[in-house]
Amino acid sequence: MRTSGAFALILLLAAAASAANRTIATANDASCDIGTYPAATLLLPYFEVEYDQPQNQGLNTVFTVVNTSPLPQIARVTIWTDWGYPASWFPMFLTGYDAQSVSMYDILARGNYPYTSSGLPFGVNSQTSNPHHLEKIWCERAGGSIGPDRAHRLQRMLTTGERDDPNCRVGGVHPYAVGSVTVDVVNSCALDSPLSDSYWKEVVLYDNVLTGDYERINPKETTGNYAGGNPLVHIRAVPEGGIAGTVTGTPLPYTFYDRYTPRDGRHIDRRQPLPSVFAVRYINGGKGSFQTNLAVWREGVMTRESAECGYEKNAALPLFTPMIVRFDEHENAVVATGCDENGCSYPKTGTTSLISAASPMLPPSPSGDVGGWLWMNLDNGAGSASDSPYSSRRPSQNWVIVQMYAEGRYAVDFDATTIANGCTTRPPTQP
């Protein structure tokens, strides 16, 4: 009997351990940590395109979206200006296990969105095989030519910020097109604006099925001749699953699309929030003439109700230099206060920007070391204001990609290390 009792105890312990493992797995699925897992939204934090140059000479950014599931999926691609305004959007139909690449040069220089169709004779592409899709998904022909007028309008928004109102802009002025891109899993090829109630309540889905990557290309023989690439930012839906508009509880304190979701539907997107504090490696100088740029995406202060002219506020997101510390390779630290006898002033950035690690916007190097790292808290303070438009007081969201290149031949891109995840409502104190 003692042997039988011991065996039963072992079985009970094993069952308890199995249940604990299942609990841990569930908790991991509900994590705010961002990783390269299949996701419901992908973010390209920064792109650059010289659409007025021959393709073999101009800057270009190419990204790819992969459907990791056997069911067909529909992805909504939204192109945002560097002030966080949705300049254009289009759907892509993905068959089961499909991959679709998007060249920003093809869109801006040639006016061509990638052509996809639910009628292709391969893969799992039945319009009714995905139960979360609408009965009529209208994807018989998605993409294709947008025409010269729409192409020129998109070019203007991404280079000069000009849209409709001549008295205001929705983006900054640049020598070439810059901005960011999001890719959402959706239920149809409907063209509802991401600023509308209907997009969040009737179109957006919650299936974590998309992965992706990007490549940036600089073919210039004298100032470039290199390329870099990195995974897109993978933002999961928590919890995942369900038809569009499903209202369910989420453990997330706020969400990635917090400032765009309807006020009566906060958290309806369920997307993981992004963090505010990063550790950023840099090298500037040395025998290989290394250079480091930081491709920075920052959450703006405007909401879905904002007027077009109000987006100029997203051009002036403060970069609080006291919240940035530069360490050299001998642990020396420097902080730029931004203050003098005349008061305090801080540099400003848009929602998307490219910053040199040697920029005077950042604290100077404390010694002759060519390398080191930056402790960066990019919270712009909007989420902590008493009149915050967000669903809760919190740090603003951000992402940083480190771009290193040398000798006009070598380049590498990688994500900066996050010191706290997006659910950390009180970021760690600076060093």
- The mean predicted confidence, pLDDT, of the chain is 88
Distance CA 215, CA 229 (A): 4
pLDDT in tens, 277-307: 999 999 998 887 899 999 999 999 998 878 8
Of the pLDDT bands very low, low, confident and very high (cuts 50, 70, 90), residue 125 is low
- Quick check: 244 pLDDT over 90? yes
Distance CA 308, CA 292 (A): 34
Burial code (b: 16+ CB inside 10 Å, e: under 16) for 119-129 equals eeeeeebebee
Sort 15 into a burial class: Cβ within 10 Å, 0-12 / 13-18 / 19+: exposed
- Quick check: 3 pLDDT over 90? no
Mean pLDDT within 239-266: 90
Asked if residue 384 lies in contact with residue 320, where contact means CB atoms within 8 angstroms, the answer is no
Q: Which long-range contacts (CB under 8 A, 24 or more apart) does 23-29 make?
A: 29/236, 29/238, 29/239, 29/240
Token digits of residue 308: 């077009």
Token digits of residue 217: 């290309």
Q: How long a stretch of residues is the chain?
A: 431
pLDDT in tens, 78-103: 999 999 999 999 999 999 999 999 99
Residue 172's nearest CA partner among 110, 82, 307, 243 is: 82
pLDDT at 323: 93
pLDDT at 185: 98
Task: Name which of 196-200, 350-354, 388-392 the model is least confident about.
Answer: 388-392
Distance CA 290, CA 296 (A): 19
* Percentage, residues of the chain above pLDDT 90: 68
Task: Name which of 12-21, 24-33, 212-221 the model is least confident about.
Answer: 12-21
Token digits of residue 262: 């309807």
Of the pLDDT bands very low, low, confident and very high (cuts 50, 70, 90), residue 14 is very low
Asked if residue 311 lies in contact with residue 85, where contact means CB atoms within 8 angstroms, the answer is yes
Of the pLDDT bands very low, low, confident and very high (cuts 50, 70, 90), residue 172 is very high
Phi-psi region at 306: left, alpha or beta (left = phi > 0; alpha = psi -120 to 50): beta
pLDDT at 419: 94
CA distances to 55, 75, 199, 252, 378 from 105, in Å: 7, 20, 27, 37, 30
What is the distance in angstroms between the CA of the first residue and the CA of the last residue of the chain?
Answer: 62
- Quick check: 415 pLDDT over 80? yes
Of the pLDDT bands very low, low, confident and very high (cuts 50, 70, 90), residue 427 is confident
Mean pLDDT within 404-428: 90
- R_g of the chain, CA atoms, integer Å: 23
pLDDT at 22: 39
Burial code (b: 16+ CB inside 10 Å, e: under 16) for 374-408 equals bbbbbbbebbeeeebbbbeebbbbbbbbbbbbbee
Mean pLDDT within 201-224: 93
Tell me the residue ranges of DSSP E strands in 6-70: 41-49, 60-67
Mention every residue, 6+ apart, whose C-beta is less than 8 A from residue 89: 76, 77, 78, 79, 191, 193, 194
CA 11 to chain centre: 46
Mean pLDDT within 3-11: 46
- Quick check: 190 pLDDT over 50? yes
Asked if residue 430 lies in contact with residue 337, where contact means CB atoms within 8 angstroms, the answer is no
3-class DSSP assignment, residue 96: coil
pTM of this prediction exceeds 0.75: yes
- Quick check: 239 pLDDT over 70? yes
